[in-house]
């Protein structure tokens, strides 16, 4: 496929690795485009009887290390470039945390808020029917992403089961409880991001301070991160969603804000309770741009890609940026932040908690036996702690930014797997003996 837009920007992250002798020329060539991108047209019978057709995609970027793994996004701005870029990031991410998966991603160009629940169910089932030939527990395994959730994963897994004529629970992760879903999956991305941040802060000798944090994006990943960070002693001073931002210097209570947002559909201070005394809390309203420019210790990006580009990068004042969203900083802005000495904890490490617990769900589905939430959290912490330490250590020994260190860790592992089947050097007679 033509390499354009977001995919071209994402692939720019491979450039610093191009002279690394540990990554063979074969591996570089194979990683410079997706293995397979399937486009499907999904007819949807609307509630009023009319017919609409929606375009969807599934990109399998690389499956050398195992079946493809990656979420499905519903959004009116989804494009083939975006899906392919997201599948590239999944490939790198699964290797960074050493999961036996390749990378994939899917999406439908649709505004789900314009559909009824029944229309949404028919569309989700239609997506699976259209892609039956490429999905499967050992082929390509979807999961939730922006605007998809466990209910939608449940419909999709059920559609696959009906087509297969038997249970195949490991075909999709992020399913509801009772349908093979894993405990701990919903909060896993936020939990993992906080663990990575904690390790980083400890390494910087800042463990006992109460860093001031601003969080862009208050959806599944951003909310759970903010809630757990607040509980762990971080001061969450600002939160935004697509409609605007709120700020309070003394700190916000993310759980109270979440509860209020579910009632009123917009961000406000919420009601805080101390002992038995509860009161409405006053907050400042900010624009989304103002939140990005706040003078905080840590800026957390948990919304969508390209939140920070060369147009607004100069306004960023936080010395540390945690990427929970995929690709929230474009390549040009990333270079500018690095040149200014800003520490960017990259998406391919920081948001890997979700896919780590997705892997645990897949393992449980295949075993037919299930672990407690405590056991899931323990396994998540063990894998992520080990792999984050390796990335942070590598950044020191190779004297390079965290993103390059993480990419090097992931791409080296993919290259080893690719080289295991023979490289140009091998087939040209050089066996390395």
Residues serving a catalytic function are 105
C-alpha angle with apex 52: 49 to 57, nearest 5 degrees? Answer: 145
67 or 190: CB nearest ligand NAD = 190
As a whole number of angstroms, the distance between CA 216 and CA 220 comes to 12
Least distance in angstroms from the C-beta of 308 to ligand NAD:
11
Q: Among all residues, whose Cβ is closest to ligand NAD?
A: 219
Per the DSSP assignment, residues forming a β-bridge with 343 are: 320
Give which of 164, 297, 167, 146 is closest to 235, Cα–Cα.
297
Q: Which residues bind ligand NAD (CB under 6 A)?
A: 145-147, 189, 216-222, 240-242, 288, 302-304, 324-326, 351, 354
Least distance in angstroms from the C-beta of 255 to ligand NAD:
15
- Asked if 230 and 254 count as a contact pair (C-beta separation under 8 A), the reply is yes
Please provide residue 371's backbone torsions phi and psi, each rounded to the nearest 5 degrees: -100, 160
- Asked if 260 and 271 count as a contact pair (C-beta separation under 8 A), the reply is yes
How do beta strands 298-301 and 284-286 pair?
Answer: unpaired
CA-CA-CA-CA dihedral for 128, 129, 130, 134, to nearest 10: 70
Per the DSSP assignment, residues forming a β-bridge with 212 are: 235
* 286 token code pair: 């900010």
The alpha-helical segments, DSSP class H, found in 232-328 are 254-264, 288-292
23 or 294: CB nearest ligand NAD = 294
Least distance in angstroms from the C-beta of 217 to ligand NAD:
3
24 or 186: CB nearest ligand NAD = 186
Least distance in angstroms from the C-beta of 219 to ligand NAD:
2
145 or 159: CB nearest ligand NAD = 145
The residue written with tokens 């109460």 in the block is: 210
59 or 147: CB nearest ligand NAD = 147
With H, G, I as helix, E, B as strand and everything else as coil, classify residue 318.
coil
Least distance in angstroms from the C-beta of 402 to ligand NAD:
17
As a whole number of angstroms, the distance between CA 58 and CA 139 comes to 12
């Amino acid at each position: 496929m033509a390499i354009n837009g977001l995919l071209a920007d994402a692939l720019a992250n491979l450039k610093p690795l191009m002279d690394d002798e540990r990554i063979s020329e074969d591996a570089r060539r194979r990683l410079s485009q997706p293995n397979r991108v399937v486009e499907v047209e999904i007819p949807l019978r609307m509630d009023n009887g009319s017919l609409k057709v929606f375009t969807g995609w599934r990109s399998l970027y690389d499956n050398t290390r195992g079946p493809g793994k990656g979420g499905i996004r519903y959004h009116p701005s989804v494009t083939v470039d975006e899906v392919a870029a997201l599948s590239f990031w999944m490939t790198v991410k699964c290797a960074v945390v050493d999961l036996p998966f390749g990378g994939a991603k899917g999406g439908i160009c649709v505004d789900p808020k314009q559909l009824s629940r029944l229309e949404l169910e028919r569309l989700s089932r239609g997506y699976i029917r259209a892609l039956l030939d490429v999905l499967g527990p050992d082929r390509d395994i979807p999961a939730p992403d922006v605007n998809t959730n466990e209910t939608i994963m449940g419909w999709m897994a059920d559609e696959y089961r009906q087509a297969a004529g038997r249970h195949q629970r490991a075909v999709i992760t992020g399913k509801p409880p009772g349908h093979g879903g894993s405990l701990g999956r919903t909060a896993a991305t936020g939990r993992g991001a906080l663990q990575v941040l904690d390790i980083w802060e400890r390494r910087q000798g800042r463990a006992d301070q109460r860093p001031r944090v601003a969080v862009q994006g208050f959806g599944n990943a951003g909310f759970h991160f903010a809630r757990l960070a607040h509980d762990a002693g971080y001061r969450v001073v600002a939160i935004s969603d697509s409609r605007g931002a709120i700020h309070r210097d003394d700190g916000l209570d993310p759980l109270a804000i979440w509860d209020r947002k579910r009632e009123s559909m917009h961000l406000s201070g919420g009601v805080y309770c101390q002992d038995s005394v509860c009161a409405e809390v006053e907050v400042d309203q900010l624009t989304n741009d103002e939140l990005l420019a706040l003078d905080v210790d840590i800026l957390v990006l948990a919304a969508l890609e390209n939140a920070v580009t060369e147009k607004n990068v100069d306004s960023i004042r936080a010395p540390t940026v945690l990427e929970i969203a995929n690709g929230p900083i474009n390549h040009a802005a990333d270079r500018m932040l690095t040149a200014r000495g800003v520490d960017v904890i990259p998406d391919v490490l920081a948001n890997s908690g979700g896919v780590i617990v997705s892997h645990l769900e897949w393992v449980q589905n295949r075993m037919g036996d299930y672990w407690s939430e405590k056991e899931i959290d323990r396994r998540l912490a063990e894998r992520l702690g080990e792999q984050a330490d390796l990335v942070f250590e590598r950044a020191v020994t190779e004297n390079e930014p965290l993103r390059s260190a993480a990419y090097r860790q992931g791409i080296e592992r993919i290259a080893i797997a690719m080289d295991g089947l023979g490289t140009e050097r091998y087939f040209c007679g050089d066996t390395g003996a």
